[in-house]
Amino acid sequence: MNYSDILSLSTSWNIRRHTNGKDLVDEITDLGFRKLELNYNVTREMAEEILPMVDKGRIEITSIHNVFPKIYDESFGTDSLLLGYPDPSMRAKAVELTIGAVEYAARFNAPAVVIHPGEVPVPRDYNRLLEDMLLDGRKDTEEYRALYKEMIELRSSGSPAYVELIRQSLEQICDYIERKNYKVALGLENRTRCYQIPVFQEVHTLLKGLEGLPVYFWYDVGHGMLLEQMGMFDNYEEAEQLVERTIGAHIHDIIDCSDHFCPYQYSDKLDKYLDIIGQIPIKVLELGRDCKPDEICRSAEILAEKLSKISKGSQ
């Protein structure tokens, strides 16, 4: 199976090398991809340059990554409270920006908007502190367990209020989608830091609270692996429980506590998750800028072949 038939490539890979939408797309299509995810660093000008390529059928946009197009205010960045701001005016602005991404998704005929909903504010960077201990081989120590317990207690006590604010924000966005009769879904992505929302249980809470609305889980496989090794959950087991409500996946490998590496270049960790990935409609390679073109093509070939075998085996 040709990987261009089933895999999309995110512009996260090459966005930092381009200021022109055509050049951005050309570099990706030169690798054999015709499906793309437009990430949150794509500017308004670049988006307008890309739109005619979609209209002409040259490329297909599988997903738009909120906040889109690029904004320069970190208060509404991908690592912010965003849809969970307690301040009503800040939350209203975040809803407005996300609706802007929905508008672009509709224009691009993209079926999904990927959303980083928010986080639980914490007094220090527990993620970095815990990862430093992991890398030093200190996970099985009293120091690690004490810090992890401190983080979990803070996270657990703060989570319900922020999850409810996020739910309210998503409900407003869904009301807009319904009024406009758009065929756009919202994908809530699991995050890479231990204090960010949502982890899997929070996804269940949000999906239940928004039942019947176009809100789904967006599974980032690598992020799940990172937090699993921290001790937060069983990544496979949790993702499997949500697969029927999952609209898309970000696919990449991890090394130690770093992510966005090409699948199968350094390890076969993704083998464990192939049956889950195979059931997810939108499959996006979300790779780092250091990945080389030949590495990406080889990775996509291997992944597509493995997914094809699983698909045939289930028939």
Asked whether residue 153 is assigned to any structural domain, the reply reads no
Asked whether residue 144 is assigned to any structural domain, the reply reads no
Rounded to the nearest 10 degrees, the angle between the axes of helix 21-29 and helix 44-55 is: 50
The count of other CB atoms within 10 Å of the CB of residue 48 is 13
Asked whether residue 147 is assigned to any structural domain, the reply reads no
Supply 105's token pair: 């998704």
Domain count, the chain: 1
Contact (Cβ atoms closer than 8 angstroms) between residue 285 and residue 270: no
Distance of CA 27 to the CA centre of its chain: 22
* Model confidence, pTM: 0.97
Q: Which of 41, 5, 81 is nearest to 305 (CA)?
A: 5
Asked whether residue 57 is assigned to any structural domain, the reply reads yes
Distance of CA 20 to the CA centre of its chain: 24
Q: Whole domain around residue 203: which residue ranges?
A: 3-123+161-313
Asked whether residue 204 is assigned to any structural domain, the reply reads yes
Q: Is 265 helix (H, G, I), strand (E, B) or coil?
A: coil
Task: Tell me which H or E stretch contains 64.
Answer: strand 60-65
Tokens 């090409």 -> residue: 262
Asked whether residue 36 is assigned to any structural domain, the reply reads yes
Q: Are strands 258-261 and 253-255 parallel, antiparallel or unpaired?
A: antiparallel
CA dist., res. 36 & res. 50, Å (int): 11
Question: CA-based Rg of the chain, rounded to a whole angstrom?
Answer: 19
Asked whether residue 130 is assigned to any structural domain, the reply reads no
Residuewise pLDDT in 10s, the chain (315 residues) = 589 999 999 999 999 999 999 999 999 999 999 999 999 999 999 999 999 999 999 999 999 999 999 999 999 999 999 999 999 999 999 999 999 999 999 999 999 999 999 999 999 999 999 999 999 999 999 999 999 999 999 999 999 999 999 999 999 999 999 999 999 999 999 999 999 999 999 999 999 999 999 999 999 999 999 999 999 999 999 999 999 999 999 999 999 999 999 999 999 999 999 999 999 999 999 999 999 999 999 999 999 999 999 877 665
The count of other CB atoms within 10 Å of the CB of residue 2 is 12
Asked whether residue 132 is assigned to any structural domain, the reply reads no
The count of other CB atoms within 10 Å of the CB of residue 57 is 8
DSSP label at residue 262:
P
CA dist., res. 36 & res. 21, Å (int): 12
CATH number at residue 177: 3.20.20.150
Tokens 């738009």 -> residue: 64
